[in-house]
């Protein structure tokens, strides 16, 4: 028995789980997806968005400025040690 056609929401879920490359999808779902893509601009937009996201995820992560981690740790330790000296109360 043939499965019913995919809805756009089912298609979105499959793209999220299986990726936008239909070649890796099970054959029955791939056929349904191709049919939906022919008739649905929304489905095509879903694939385009997933492709753009995958491309962005492939780009190297931005580098933190030199010394940023040291400044964060120093700030965190400075705040903790100041609280430790007077029990977290403000000095007068």
Helix (H, G, I), strand (E, B) or coil at 43: helix
pTM of the model: 0.61
CA distance 12 to 8: 6
Indicate the burial class of 14 (C-beta count within 10 angstroms; 0-12, 13-18, 19 or more): buried
Span 25-71, pLDDT tens digits: 999 999 999 999 999 999 999 999 999 999 988 888 888 899 999 99
Report pLDDT for 1: 45
* Token pair for 1: 């028995």
């Amino acid at each position: 028995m043939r499965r019913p056609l995919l809805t756009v929401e089912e298609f979105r879920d499959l793209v999220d789980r299986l990726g936008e490359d239909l070649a890796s999808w099970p054959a029955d779902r791939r056929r349904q997806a191709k049919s939906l893509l022919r008739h649905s601009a929304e489905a095509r937009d879903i694939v385009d968005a997933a492709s753009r996201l995958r491309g962005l995820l492939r780009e190297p992560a931005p580098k933190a400025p030199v010394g940023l981690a040291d400044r964060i740790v120093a700030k965190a330790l400075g705040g903790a040690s100041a609280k430790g000296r007077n029990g977290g109360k403000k000095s007068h």
